[in-house]
Chain A
Amino acid sequence: QKEVEQDPGPLSVPEGAIVSLNCTYSNSAFQYFMWYRQYSRKGPELLMYTYSSGNKEDGRFTAQVDKSSKYISLFIRDSQPSDSATYLCAMSSNTGNQFYFGTGTSLTVIP
């Protein structure tokens, strides 16, 4: 079993839709949860990160962590064509000696 599982998609939605991206994990030691966005032929860029459980909101983006279910989500409200990219989840332990990326979900927002 992989440490982090992420549905690769592709996911295609109309402009303005709410997008939900998800990852599951198996290691209960993970405490830091990140979401990165990667445009085609570019390096990943950090969108948000949360520590432990709970929600975090930044503009149109909301990150949720449910440690009891080992499940994290990224919601994008009012999606825009500029949101078209691959979204990677990542997570790490407190000690920093365990961190992993998901394989990424490809999202296309259609105008």
Chain B
Amino acid sequence: DAGVIQSPRHEVTEMGQEVTLRCKPISGHDYLFWYRQTMMRGLELLIYFNNNVPIDDSGMPEDRFSAKMPNASFSTLKIQPSEPRDSAVYFCASSLHPQGTEQYFGPGTRLTVT
């Protein structure tokens, strides 16, 4: 398996623009997680899905953030409008296990909002 795939790897955009991050989980993994990582706050869970259904979105910082999982092999995280404080590395991870164990992370998308 190719592992978790994320695109784009790097994104530079201007404040106010819409940003869409994409993730393809490992085939057969029922759980998908979106994280944001910064030096100040470390790795923060934004939202996770089970069988394409959002289970916990309490980590989504505000209404500008939204996530979807239209099928088992694809998820998006959208930020609209983007702000400079959204600059971070965004990771997608997938897992077979409901306890959040054995998560496999993608390479991340490095987002810079100017």
A: residues with CB less than 8 A from B are 31-32, 34, 36, 41-46, 49, 88, 90, 92-97, 99-104
Contact = CB atoms under 8 A, between A and B. Distances in A.
A58 B91 CA distance: 27
Interface of B is mostly: loop
Contacts of B45: 99-101
A43 B99 contact: no
Contacts, number: 58
Contacts of B91: 43-44
Interface of A is mostly: strand
Nearest to B102: A46
Interface stretch (B12-20, B67-75, B77-85, B104-112): B104-112
B56 interface: yes
Contact of B99 (A32, A36, A102): A32
Interface of B: 4, 41-43, 45, 55-56, 91, 93, 97-108, 110
Contacts of A42: 107-108
A44 B102 contact: no
Contacts of B99: 31-32, 92-96, 99
- What 3 A-B pairs come out closest when comparing CB atoms? A43-B105, A103-B42, A99-B100
Given A43-B91, A99-B45, A101-B43, A32 B100 contact: yes
Contacts of B56: 97
B101 A32 contact: yes
B102 A49 contact: yes
Given A43-B107, A99-B99, 10 more contacts: A32-B100, A32-B101, A34-B102, A43-B108, A44-B91, A46-B104, A88-B43, A97-B56, A99-B45, A101-B43
